[in-house]
Amino acid sequence: MSRTRVKICGTTNLPDALLSAEAGADALGFIFAPISKRLVRAEVAREASLAVGPAVARIGVFLNQGLDEVLRLAEGGRMSAVQLHGPLAPEFVLAAAQFYPVLRVVRPADLQTEAQRWAGHPAVTLMLDAPEPGGGVPLDWAALQADFPAGAWLAAGLGPENVAEAMRLLRPAGVDAVSKLEASAGQKNPQAVKAFVDAVKGS
């Protein structure tokens, strides 16, 4: 079984991209949802994407945005994958997956239905998140143990202090965090980023 991948989300500037990459992150998240306090411009994301080298994935995060906008921003920011939040039609997810690997974000209530829907679609990977993305509130991992699908990623309220326990209970293929790794909204806390990556890689 391969090790759990670690994604640091909410990258809004070049120094934070570099510090996350140097800390050992497998993936950086760039939030293109206009409602977010971590919104990044495509030009900034592009500069960061080109600076972190070929081994670091760049994941564009979207919430209820049209396909043209998703593709334009993902291309402009030089993303390597897209993360899709919101009540989207399966056809929309499939259309996006023609262009980029998709992390399809689902809530706990929809996990079983979505796991069945996307089984056998290699371009679509499930990510379990809280109903309010970016809120820093952990899920009830013990309650999810029976249904958590192999290969799925986990987000919501993860940080250096609790990620090992979440991994022990759910064995996610990847973990993702933002709120608990910030000094302020959109600005990374370097010690927290490093501690989070070390906790994931040491578990």
Q: Smaller CB distance to ligand LGQLAAA5: residue 10 or 71?
A: 10
Number of residues counted as binding ligand LGQLAAA5 (CB under 6 A):
24
CB-based contacts of 1, cutoff 8 Å, min separation 6:
none
Q: Is 158 in the site for ligand LGQLAAA5 (CB under 6 A)?
A: yes
- Give every CB contact of residue 117 below 8 A, 6+ residues apart in sequence: 90
Q: At its nearest, how many Å lie between ligand LGQLAAA5 and the CB of residue 167? A: 15
Q: How far is CA 32 from the centre of its chain?
A: 12
Q: Shortest Cβ distance from residue 193 to ligand LGQLAAA5 (Å)?
A: 12
* Site membership for ligand LGQLAAA5, residue 77 (CB under 6 A): no
Residue 186 binds to ligand LGQLAAA5 (criterion: CB under 6 A): no
- Say which of 16, 26, 110, 129 is annotated catalytic: 129
Is residue 154 at the binding interface for ligand LGQLAAA5, with CB under 6 A as the rule? no
From residue 181, how far is each of 100, 101, 106, 134, 159 by CA, in Å? 27, 25, 22, 11, 7
Q: Which stretch binds ligand LGQLAAA5 (CB under 6 A): 17-25, 50-58, 73-81, 134-142?
A: 134-142
Contacts of 73 (CB under 8 A, 6+ apart): 32, 42, 60, 62, 65, 79
In 3D space, the residue among 98, 100, 93 whose CA is nearest the CA of residue 118 turns out to be: 93
C-alpha 5/C-alpha 7 separation (Å) is 7
Q: For residues 104 and 115, is the Cβ–Cβ distance under 8 A?
A: no
Whether residue 129 lies in the annotated active site: yes
Q: Does 16 bind ligand LGQLAAA5 (CB under 6 A)?
A: no
List the catalytic residues. Answer: 9, 129
Interface contacts to ligand LGQLAAA5, rule CB under 6 A? 9-10, 29, 31, 33, 36-38, 61, 63, 85, 129, 133-136, 155-158, 176-179
